[in-house]
């Protein structure tokens, strides 16, 4: 929003926060599914837990779509020049095709996939949906940021290299630290209750 200082929206911050929570949740699901077949997580992660994780991701996909559509609807209904400036930039030229792509693949497809219980019960399939959501979150961030800087949709090689480079460094540090830490909270008194339930 700071790229267009004359435009403001009270929902913009919440859309951004929910999107970041969705990214973090998708990453956690993907990381958990990579180690789900190893002990001690193999004891804890069951089909019912996978369904719960899938339902949580579905809830945040729906919340993101609800907030984004609410912001659009309120600004469209108000039709005030100060408020529509952001959408005029983001719906100009080829950017509108990227917006439609996000509508279909950031909301509609994950919504339909995560409604299916069979998809949520399979660790690999749920991890694939989570990885797909992470990629779409990067595309959404690109759509939010870049139209203010580039009036026409232009892809530069750094648009791919920067997230891959920074993400690669972050994942390397994450996995290195993960090896030295327990995957379950060993001193948690509720852990025994969970283990008995399973």
pLDDT, tens only, 28-37: 999 988 888 8
User: Which pLDDT does position 87 carry in this prediction?
Assistant: 87
Residue 44 lies in a domain: yes
User: Which pLDDT does position 191 carry in this prediction?
Assistant: 74
User: How many structural domains compose the chain?
Assistant: 1
CA 20 to CA 105: how far, in whole Å? 17
User: Which pLDDT does position 8 carry in this prediction?
Assistant: 80
**Higher pLDDT pick, 194 / 119:** 119
**pLDDT level of residue 197 (50, 70, 90 thresholds):** low
Mean pLDDT, rounded, of the chain: 88
Query: In the predicted model, is pLDDT for residue 198 greater than 60?
Result: no
* Non-local CB neighbours of 3 within 8 Å, separated by 6+ positions: 145, 148, 149
The closest of 65, 82, 93, 69 to 7, measured between CA atoms, is 82
Pair of tokens at residue 143: 């759509």
Query: In the predicted model, is pLDDT for residue 53 greater than 90?
Result: yes
Burial readout 157-184 (b: 16 or more C-beta within 10 A, e: otherwise) = eeeeeeeeeeeeeeeeeeeeeeeeeeee
**Higher pLDDT pick, 43 / 130:** 130
- Residue 16's domain comprises 12-157
Residue 178 lies in a domain: no
Do the beta carbons of residue 90 and residue 145 sit within 8 Å?
no
Residue 110 lies in a domain: yes
DSSP 182: -
Residue 132 lies in a domain: yes
The closest of 39, 49, 29, 59 to 124, measured between CA atoms, is 29
């Amino acid at each position: 929003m700071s790229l267009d200082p004359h435009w403001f929206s009270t929902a913009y911050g919440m859309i951004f926060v929910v999107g970041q929570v969705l990214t973090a949740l998708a990453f956690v699901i993907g990381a958990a599914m990579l180690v789900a077949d190893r002990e001690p997580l193999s004891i804890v992660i069951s089909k019912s837990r996978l369904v719960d994780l899938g339902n949580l991701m579905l809830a945040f996909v729906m919340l993101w779509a609800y907030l984004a559509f609410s912001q659009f609807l309120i600004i469209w209904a108000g039709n005030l020049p100060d408020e529509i400036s952001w959408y005029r930039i983001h719906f100009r030229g080829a950017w509108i095709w990227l917006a439609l792509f996000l509508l279909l693949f950031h909301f509609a497809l994950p919504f339909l996939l995560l409604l299916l219980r069979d998809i949520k019960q399979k660790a690999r399939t749920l991890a694939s949906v989570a990885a797909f959501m992470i990629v779409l979150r990067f595309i959404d961030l690109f759509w939010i940021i870049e139209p203010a800087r580039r009036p026409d949709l232009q892809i530069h090689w750094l648009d791919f290299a920067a997230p891959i480079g920074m993400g690669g460094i972050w994942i390397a540090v994450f996995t290195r630290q993960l090896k030295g830490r327990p995957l379950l909270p060993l001193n948690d008194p509720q852990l025994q209750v969970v283990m008995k339930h399973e």
